[in-house]
Structure formats: C-alpha cells, structure tokens
Structure 1
Amino acid sequence: MKAKIITLITLILMGGMNLYAQNRRTLIAYFSWSGNTQHVAEYIAGQTGGTLFRIDPVKPYPTDYKPCTEVAKKEKEQNARPAIKNKVEDWDSYDTIFIGCPVWWWTAPMIINTFTESYNFKGKTVIPFCTYASTYRDETLAKIAELTPDAKHLKGFGAVSRNTDGITEWLKEIRVIK
C-alpha cells in the first residue's frame, strides 16, 4: 500500500512538472506602445499557459501619438535597431515563440528586428501576431516570418486594436490549444 501511494505521488508530481515544462516551452514576446498588443499577448498567454516577455526599448518612445509616429518613421527610414533593455532568460528552453507587435508604418516596428536578430530561432516554431487599426496586417505578419527564416512558422493572427475575438479559434486551428 505504501509503495502504491509513493508511486501515485511520484506520478502526480511528474505530471505537474511536465505541465510546467510544457508551459515553459511557449514564449509570448511582444512590443506594445499603446497597450493594445499587450492586451492581446496577455490573452494568448492566458489561453496557452505561455510565458510573457515584454520587449521594452532602452529609450522609451514618446507617449504622445504624433511624436511617436515621427520617431517610428525615422527608425524605419534609417533601418534602425532600437536597443532592448531586457533579455529572454532561458531562451533555449522555449520551443514555440509568439512574436507580437503593432503595425507601424505598414510593417513591424524596427525594435522587432532588434529582437529577432538577438536570438537563434533555428529549431523554434514562430507564430506572429499583430494589432492594427485598418490595414497592413498581412504585411506585418509576413515581416515577422521573414525576420525568423530559420524557424518553422504557423499561421499568424491580426487583432483590430485590442479585440480578442477569434483568438481562441485561431489557437485551436493552428493546434496550439485543444
């Protein structure tokens, strides 16, 4: 009887560790200026059990819309690589990486280039997502895939502003959740 209880406890603990390891294998990396992309990233994390990683610039973007768009446009024109102030801990433990951002000037913000150039994506699965107002969703999703050529890619998702409608269905369609 005692051996059965010990075996049962061991199986429960191993199952719990496997669940934790499975959840640790998914990273949701995102850049968010207005909070829309963060909202979507948090929703994805809630659905997948993945770990959130906010891509924060060393030099924050202006908080007012117009000055922010001017900085973003200048970065794009100069092919800039804004510095990121934090790093993903334990990068090698992640198999699946969601990469999310808003659409800025018809594509992903340049800080996404910085992020993708900072890590080795060989053997990883990348799933792009973005938030947008009206257009350039597909171009932004394609850009994220282009920036991670060594990864396997799953179908991305574009959310209008912070609207999470359709995300659960998308995650099921790409078989990230049941």
Structure 2
Amino acid sequence: MMKLKLFLLTVLTAFGISCYAQNNEKANRILIAYFSWSGNMEHVAKYIAEQTGGTLFRIEPVKPYPTEYTPCTEVAKAEKERNDRPAIKNKVTDWDSYDTVFIGCPVWWWTAPMIINTFAESYDFKGKTVVPFCTYASTYRDETLARIAELTPDANHLKGFGAVDRNTDGITEWLKEIKVIK
C-alpha cells in the first residue's frame, strides 16, 4: 500500500511539474514589443505584460529622439517625409520562440513612428500572430493600428487596441475578447 501511495504521489508531482512547465512555456511565447517616447506606451506595455505574462522588448533608437516635445515632433515629421528607417540599438533574442507579438507605439503624424517600420522589417513574421496597440491623444488610432498590420503582412492579426495616453481602462477586457487571457 505504501508503494502505491508513493507511486501515485510521484505521478501526481510529475504531472503538476509538467503542467507548470507548459503554462510557463506558453507565457514565454508572447512578446510585447513597444516604442515609447513619453512613457505612456511603456506604461501600457507593462500593463499588457502583467496581464499576459509576456516578455517586454523596448524598441530603442540608436540615436535618441529629442526629449523636448516640439523638437521631437520635428524629427518625427522629417523621418516620415523621408520614409526613414531609424536604426534600432537592440535585437529580440530567441525571436523564433515567440508565437504572438504585440507591437505598440504612440501615434506620430497620423500613423506609427518610422522606427516601427524598422522593427517590422527586421524580423520574419510568417506563422506569428501580431496584436497591434497604440497610445494616442485624440485621433488616428485606427490608422495606426492598421499600419502595424500592413507592416506585418505575413502574420495573422488580432484586433488591436488604442489607449488614450497611459490609460489602461479596457485592456483586460480586450485581452479576454481576443482570447489572449481567460
């Protein structure tokens, strides 16, 4: 009888460890890639990471944007007009291990900042699911979400989300609606 109890305990422990490993493996399959200038997008991206268990990846330009608002908007506008691809100083490690990639950015000049183009063109999205999200002040949310989807044509796409400034209201419900969390 004691051997049977030990056997059952061993089997149940192994099963529990296996389930734990599978759940953790699934959590590590979500990447939240984001570009943030003011901190609003970073706040939203961190909230999504907390909700999903995903891995955060901050998209950082090699040459930082000006810290003052007006000079930053001037640089962003010039990049858009020239169709620039600002260099990114870091790379996603273990890209192939992610199935779902959230891509987030603020709305700049009616669309995604040009560094999002750089990011999207740097990786193979075939077989991945892309979830666009953005922060915005008042307009061009839908255009920005659509642009992120356009930049990743080989991916499957889930419904995106736009947060006003750093407001996280509605994010949990959205993540449930698109079935990323329960």
Does residue 1:155 correspond to 2:163, yes or no? no
**Aligned-CA RMSD value:** 0.7
Residue 20 of structure 1, CA deviation = 1.0
Residue 42 of structure 2 corresponds to which residue in structure 1? 38
Residue 138 of structure 1 corresponds to which residue in structure 2? 142
Residue 23 of structure 2 corresponds to which residue in structure 1? 19
**Aligned letter for 1:113?**
N
Give 2:94's match in structure 1, choosing from 90, 95, 111.
90
**Aligned letter for 1:42?**
K
Give 1:70's match in structure 2, choosing from 68, 74, 80.
74
Greater Cα shift, 3-12 or 130-139: 3-12
Percent identity, aligned pairs only, is: 76
Residue 7 of structure 1, CA deviation = 1.3
**Distance across 1 between alignment mates of 2:50 and 2:171:** 11
Q: What TM-score does the superposition give when structure 2 sets the normalisation length?
A: 0.96
Q: What TM-score does the superposition give when structure 1 sets the normalisation length?
A: 0.98
**Distance across 2 between alignment mates of 1:111 and 1:20:** 31
Larger Rg: 2
Structure 1 unaligned blocks of 5 or more: none
4+ residue stretches of structure 1 with deviation over 2 A? none
**Distance across 1 between alignment mates of 2:11 and 2:174:** 39
Residue 120 of structure 1 corresponds to which residue in structure 2? 124
Residue 2 of structure 1, CA deviation = 2.1
Map Cα deviations across residues 4-55 of structure 1 (whole Å, 9 max, x no partner).
2221221111111111100011110000000000000011111111111100
Structure 2 unaligned blocks of 5 or more: none
Query: The residue matched to 2:180 in structure 1 has which SS?
Result: coil
**Distance across 2 between alignment mates of 1:16 and 1:76:** 46
**Distance across 2 between alignment mates of 1:6 and 1:60:** 54
**Distance across 1 between alignment mates of 2:87 and 2:21:** 35
